[in-house]
Amino acid sequence: MSIQVSPSAIPNSNVVSLASMLDRDDYLTGLLNQVTATKTEGWLQELRQSAANWVRHSIIPTTREEEWRFTDLSSLRKVQFNVETRKFASLQFDILPEAANSRLVFVNGVFAPELSAVSDLPSGIVVSNLAGLSAVEQEGVRQYLAQAEGAQEVFTALNTAGITDAAVVWVKKNVVVETLIHLVFVAVAGETATISQPRCLVVAESGSQVRLVEEYTNRQAAKSAEDGVYFTNAVTEIWVGDNAQVSHTRVEREGAEAFHIGKTAIAQARDSRYTCHAITLGAKLSRHNLEVLQTGEQTETTLNGLTVISGKQLSDTHSAIALNYPHGTTDQLHKCIVGDRAHAVFNGKVLVPKPAQLTNAAQLNRNLLLSSKARIDTKPQLEITADNVKCAHGATVSQLEDDEIFYLQSRGIDENDARKLLINAFAAEVINKIPVSSLREILLNTVNNLKSLTNE
């Protein structure tokens, strides 16, 4: 498998100076103490300790930092989170028929074997939690876990510092997996605020193909919505080998009072193809960092995103595609539907340095504001130093057109249904690209039933 692994993705603990070991952020140190209370052994504990050392000399980002200037985390800092220790043997969640026997389920970050089913897997693929792997398989995981670029980012390092288990999908060389893989991370909110840190590792060896759905959802165990505060800090690493194909759908449907910060880091080797469909619907405050690193020439990258928010939700998507080799192709479409007083943020970077000649990159951000108080901050961004490329980017911000609503009303459709039709059509451009029919239907129904997006 021709994937280059960065040997210094997590700083070694013995190169951290004494001054940097001082705790710089008391709140962050409190989170760190919570997530590191459970110990592991061997290489995993060494990895965790190195990450913990990094976290101890880091701080939680503020709006003074350019990358976070539209996303204020002060509301997160007001909550004291604890690690959930309860176990839940039975929970209701959407089981995709395409993955009825090929799913892993984690509840509050803990693997739930009684809710998982992996009996319908072909040979040549491993789908398991980290603790369920053999010693040989764990040694393979060691070469990739926490080795993606950007591992020093504070929330990524916090997740690494607290790893006790992970979802692992490993596809062997030249294996084509027709079966859909479903990774479900369920948060059960209780009467005290909790933190969970899901971790996912996907390795697609050269010539392999796989489809997977990564879903974050919730089930309310609290007495009221105000009690259901929790924090999901998720990290997913995807390694796409030479001539491999990964189709990845990420769905975030957290609770109304939740905080969700997620990182998706992808490394693409020569001739590989990666497609991501990222759907964001839930959480009081959410942030998704989507980072793609090209490690070989002639890669194809397709990023489709949809954010649908209302009320006082804040949703922030930051993407970065780093093209380092010739003949790379990227196509990104990100759409936002923003209602009420909600606030959406999109920042998309495409980096095309001089070695990345003959790159073809397109990026478009389209936004639909449904109220006068809805807000979008958008910044599509191309940074090009190569001189033989074809690159384009743009952003649009619009509202529902009165003449379109009037036209539908003249055909006997009332105003509210007319608005729904137009909103659904805007969202369907992204949802219909998802290669899982049952999930498409669930998401289209979810958007259609969001009353806060209409005048109801």
Token pair, residue 71, equals: 């996303």
> CA 16 to CA 58: how far, in whole Å?
12
Q: What angle do CA 323, 324, 326 make, to 5 degrees?
A: 90
Mean pLDDT of 61-73: 96
Q: Could you tell me the pLDDT band of residue 23, with boundaries at 50, 70 and 90?
A: low
Residue 5 is predicted with a pLDDT of 37
Q: Give the residue from 456, 34, 25, 383 showing the smallest Cα distance to 230.
A: 34
Quick check: pTM over 0.85? yes
Instruction: Report the phi/psi class of residue 226: left, alpha or beta, with left for phi > 0 and alpha for psi in -120 to 50.
Output: alpha
> CA 395 to CA 347: how far, in whole Å?
11
Residue 405 has pLDDT above 60, yes or no: yes
How many other CB atoms are there within 10 angstroms of residue 453's CB atom?
25
Please provide the average confidence, as pLDDT, over all residues in the chain: 91
Residue 93 is predicted with a pLDDT of 84
> CA 187 to CA 216: how far, in whole Å?
8
Residue 15 has pLDDT above 70, yes or no: no
Residue 2 has pLDDT above 50, yes or no: no
pLDDT one-digit tens code per residue, 240-295: 999 999 999 999 999 999 999 999 999 999 999 999 999 999 999 999 999 999 99
Q: Lowest-pLDDT range, 4-18, 222-236, 357-371?
A: 4-18
Q: Are strands 199-204 and 245-252 parallel, antiparallel or unpaired?
A: unpaired
Cα–chain center distance at 391: 25
Residue 18 has pLDDT above 50, yes or no: no
pLDDT one-digit tens code per residue, 409-441: 999 999 999 999 999 999 999 999 999 999 999
Q: Are strands 390-399 and 343-352 parallel, antiparallel or unpaired?
A: unpaired
Residue 240 three-state SS = strand
Q: Which residues pair with 383 in a beta bridge?
A: 351
